[in-house]
Amino acid sequence: MEETGKKVIFSGIQPSGNLTIGNYLGALKNWVKLQDEYDCYYCVVDLHAITARQEPKDLRRRTLEILAIYLAAGLDPEKNTMFIQSHVSAHTEAAWLLNCNTYVGELSRMTQYKTKSSKFGNDTSISAGLLNYPVLMASDILLYQTDLVPVGLDQKQHLELTRNIAERFNNAYSPTFKIPEPYIPKEGSKIMDLQEPLKKMSKSSENPNSFILLMDPPEVIKKKISRAVTDSIGIVKYSDEQPGVKNLMNILNTLTGESFDCIEKKYAGKGYAEFKEDVATAIINEFEPIQNKVEMILADKTNLEKIYKAGAEKANYIANKTLRKMQKKIGFIPVSK
């Protein structure tokens, strides 16, 4: 397998729901920009998705849909390694080895774990997978000797934990892993809920008006943006006092590149209606071509299969190299040939 000498990028999205504009602007759009400069591994993290119960047929459909969205958004299968996490068993094997070098205390302090587990109240049937989830993420990243991990702001804490686990392992067993850096974009790294703009937009929200999906038809996008919560101030201004407007300005800026200053001037004295219409149009202009391509890509299952098979082959080779190193250092007896 050729060594490119390029720095390595790893990232992934869970097929646990439909992709939102948050996933797109916080992660996917940046991946496309990085594909020429780096050796990129983009994964559909199906093992992560099962920390919450998934309907098998929905999981199957969404896994392929996410891969199709990666392609439709502009990721080139010739340049990037695109694969499905469960096709590379080294991820789960390495996760066990890393679990034995991770503390329950640090896992139970993760914000995402605290938020998700608090929803259970007194019910103790929280899956151990939910607690261990960041260790699997660390294993994804470390197996590829990753330099950079492009993610949204919500994943920063998991990245820090990954670095701590890697350093602990390196110190205990001699240098084994590269220590990865997060790559969090200045804009778009935290798209907020359209109905409660102080909360992160999430695909698992119960109110569909609170998120825009990458696959939402234009009329739905228009309706959701027109219903987005703003305020009674009535001025388009980038301010913490106006979190709803700020969020829409962030979306517009990330999509069109227009500065906040420029946006403020353009809508001065005009109220919110025209501003919202333009935000919706910018989203539709970005999403429509992707949506059309997704349908085409999904219609050709043979081609999709070719792509994820080739991706798994390359990923298996690299991941197993690191896994063997880990096993040897820990003191496992190598399988004789």
The answer to whether residue 201 forms part of the interface with ligand AMP (CB under 6 A) is yes
Q: Which of 102, 155, 195, 254 binds ligand TRP (CB under 6 A)?
A: 155
> What phi, psi does 12 have (nearest 5°)?
-160, 160
Residues identified as active-site: 116, 200, 203
The answer to whether residue 107 forms part of the interface with ligand AMP (CB under 6 A) is no
Q: Which of 7, 178, 190, 325 binds ligand AMP (CB under 6 A)?
A: 190
Q: Which of 46, 65, 140, 286 binds ligand TRP (CB under 6 A)?
A: 140
Number of residues that bind ligand TRP (CB under 6 A): 13
The answer to whether residue 160 forms part of the interface with ligand AMP (CB under 6 A) is no
Question: Of the listed pieces 2-10, 175-183, 186-194, 320-328, which binds ligand AMP according to CB under 6 A?
Answer: 186-194
Q: At what angle do helices 128-143 and 156-173 cross, to 10 degrees?
A: 70
**Which 11-50 residues touch ligand TRP, going by CB under 6 A?**
11-12, 14, 45, 48
137: partner contacted, choices ligand AMP, ligand TRP, none (Cβ within 5-8 A by kind): ligand TRP
The answer to whether residue 22 forms part of the interface with ligand AMP (CB under 6 A) is yes
Q: Which of 9, 13, 75, 90 binds ligand AMP (CB under 6 A)?
A: 13
Beta carbon nearer to ligand TRP, 44 or 280? 44
Whose tokens are 């907020």? That residue is 192
User: Do the beta carbons of residue 53 and residue 204 sit within 8 Å?
Assistant: no
What is the 3 state secondary structure string of the chain? CCCCCCCEEEEEECCCCCCEHHHHHHHHHHHHHHCCCCEEEEEECHHHHCCCCCCHHHHHHHHHHHHHHHHHCCCCCCCCEEEEHHHCCHHHHHHHHHHCCCCHHHHHCCHHHHHHHHCCCCCCCCCHHHHHHHHHHHHHHHHCCCCEEECCHHHHHHHHHHHHHHHHHHHHHCCCCCCCEEECCCCCCCCECCCCCCCECCCCCCCHHHCCECCCCHHHHHHHHHCCCCCCCCCCCCCCCCHHHHHHHHHHHHHHCCCHHHHHHHCCCCCCHHHHHHHHHHHHHHHHHHHHHHHHHHHCHHHHHHHHHHHHHHHHHHHHHHHHHHHHHHCCCCCCC
Question: Of the listed pieces 10-18, 201-209, 210-218, 227-235, which binds ligand TRP according to CB under 6 A?
Answer: 10-18
139: partner contacted, choices ligand TRP, ligand AMP, none (Cβ within 5-8 A by kind): none
163: partner contacted, choices ligand AMP, ligand TRP, none (Cβ within 5-8 A by kind): none
For residue 192, list its beta bridge partners.
200
The 209-248 site mask, x for binding ligand TRP (CB under 6 A), equals ----------------------------------------
The answer to whether residue 10 forms part of the interface with ligand TRP (CB under 6 A) is yes
User: Do the beta carbons of residue 134 and residue 155 sit within 8 Å?
Assistant: no
The answer to whether residue 162 forms part of the interface with ligand AMP (CB under 6 A) is no
The 158-177 site mask, x for binding ligand TRP (CB under 6 A), equals x-------------------
Which residues make up the interface to ligand AMP (CB under 6 A)? 13-14, 22-23, 26-27, 151-152, 154-155, 189-191, 200-201
Which residues make up the interface to ligand TRP (CB under 6 A)? 10-12, 14, 45, 48, 137, 140-141, 149, 151, 155, 158
